[in-house]
Amino acid sequence: MLYFLSRFILFFNNMPDENLKIIQSYSEGGANATDAAIAKDTQTNNVEKIKSTPRRKAVDRPMRVILICKEMIAYERIAMMQLSSCLKKDGHEVRAAVMNSTTPLPGLKTVMGKVGKPGLMGEEQIRKLIRDWKPDIIAYTAMTGEHYSLLDFNQKMKKEFDFYAVMGGPHAIFNTQVLDEGGLDAICTGEGDLSFPEFVRRMQKGEEYWLTETFFVKHNGQLYTNPLHELVQDLNDLPFPDRQILYDADPNIAVVGSKSFHTSRGCPYRCSYCFNKKYNDNYKGLGNIIRCRSPENVVKEIEWVKERYPLTMVSFVDDIFFLKPPGWLEEFARLYKERINLPFNGNVRANILKEKDIAMLKDAGLSYVWMGVETGNDEAANKVFLRDGSSSSDVILKASAVFKKFGVKIIALNIMGLPIENPFEIDMETLDLNLKIKPALASVGLLYPYPGTPVAAYAIQNGYFTADKPFYYESNKNHSMLTFKSKKEKMMCENLQKLAGVTVEFPFLRKFVRSLCKLPLTKLYHFIFYMHQSYCHKVRLSPIKNKRKELPVYAGTLLRVMLKN
């Protein structure tokens, strides 16, 4: 049984003219960052509400910073590694901790003998690190849903130790009210590559760190809401992400053959379920939204990683890998094939593809792509997801045919359980579109109304979601957070989300799936969902090369993921 579980593990989580216009439009100047939320003037809040840490004294030594994140599902947190390299470049000392890496498994202490390895940190291990190392700053990075346990942990540590607590990441950026919670002293409200080292430098020198751009800071009973710093314009200027700091904190990540890389930052699209619309609005006038590293810089980093760590699959985690300036893809394909020669994958959008680019990248090693399908109902795509008709079902089918022509596998990304009338019927249309696409994997999640996104506002306005202290799950694969007409409707949507992938795998199930969704077997379908996803990822798409080292990692990860809310 353990072998079965470990074998079926989950790994999660020339440009068209249109693209050139997109990049040019985001290169122009504009208004200042945002409204009162990031006004430069100091705002005074209730002193009791914003109890703040006393001013930090200057120190004549490097600052000590601990970076903390929640357990990663077999991938690296690139932003966290990037911050470490930027801080170290300025001479500071940095450690990392990965929380909950050794979460106990009910009735199963180990999976094939190795759920965790020395170096993985639960709360007690991190507490010991804080006690022994005495950091000046602890910086948390959090996605929505992860913030609960991180804030709870911070509050506990604040009662025992003297340190300055900062939170960054998507949750802090789009939920600035989190500064009122969990004993935080400051939050980073945007890119921290330049701002966080400056914040640390000012604190080290005894300067006015509470006035650092991109930071909201509680100081002497006042709340300082500073404007955003300009975006990093030349990504080549940044040092390579410090992978070792994360691998020291979680050695399981180091042994995994698939490693993540960025070639660019930014996305011009305004899909309602994504943070990019608000992010782009916040940064209007503060530099180009879409920025690319040079192909040479990207390939050099991959070479650097390949020389030091196991590397069998390169995963480009840009929002849209194909969204590049003229000539970029050609140069990249040439350099990558000459110097790396490993399979790679990346995210794509169906409406910005050229057949010649796909053929060229396939020759360079493109193995599979992650393509947003989202929904099979074009009206819902435009009304709920604001996809402006550019990625219609017809466009998606045409793009799928081109990828198949060149032997590039597809992971079709879908969203079910929409805030709309008759959501189950809409989801059935999504299933049928995937049956036409015939992807290597139909990956399906439930709609997650991330705070600050247009789809969350839409769901609230139409009575499908409440903004009154909602509980956010860590995963969008298990339960829906929306309010449905009935418990049965919710159950059917959740069941279809879990059965859709295996139905696409075995199309004969299509005639039975409606009846199957009516059965109260969600827990069984939950198990089937993860087994199928795991098989597709780690057998079909990105096969495990070093089974002795990687299988235990994936088996333990899979079981912990299945137990998440």
Q: Tell me what percent of the chain is helix, strand and coil, each rounded to the nearest 5.
A: 45, 15, 40
**The 313-316 sheet, strands edge to edge:** 258-261, 313-316, 344-348, 366-374, 409-416, 441-446
Summarised one tens digit per residue, pLDDT across range 68-95 is 998 776 568 999 999 999 999 999 999 9
β-pair type (366-374, 409-416): parallel
The per-residue pLDDT for 54 is: 62
User: For the whole model, what pTM was predicted?
Assistant: 0.85
> What end-to-end distance do the CA atoms of the chain give, in Å?
24
Q: According to DSSP H, which parts of 31-89 are helical?
A: 78-89
Pick out the chain residues at pLDDT < 50. Answer: 1-50, 101-119
Q: Can you list the domains of the chain with their CATH numbers?
A: 2-17+258-545 (3.80.30.20), 34-225 (3.40.50.280)
The per-residue pLDDT for 505 is: 97
| Residue 15 exposed, middle or buried by CB count within 10 Å (0-12, 13-18, 19+) | buried
CB environment 292-303: b (16+ within 10 A), e (fewer): bbbbebbbbbbe
The per-residue pLDDT for 28 is: 35
Residue 346, SS3? strand
Residue 52, SS3? coil
Question: Backbone phi, then psi, for 204, in 5-degree steps?
Answer: -60, -40
Largest Cα–Cα separation, the chain:
71
Q: Are 433 and 414 in contact (CB under 8 A)?
A: no
The per-residue pLDDT for 478 is: 86
Q: In this structure, which amino acid lies at residue 139?
A: A
Question: Backbone phi, then psi, for 52, in 5-degree steps?
Answer: -120, 150
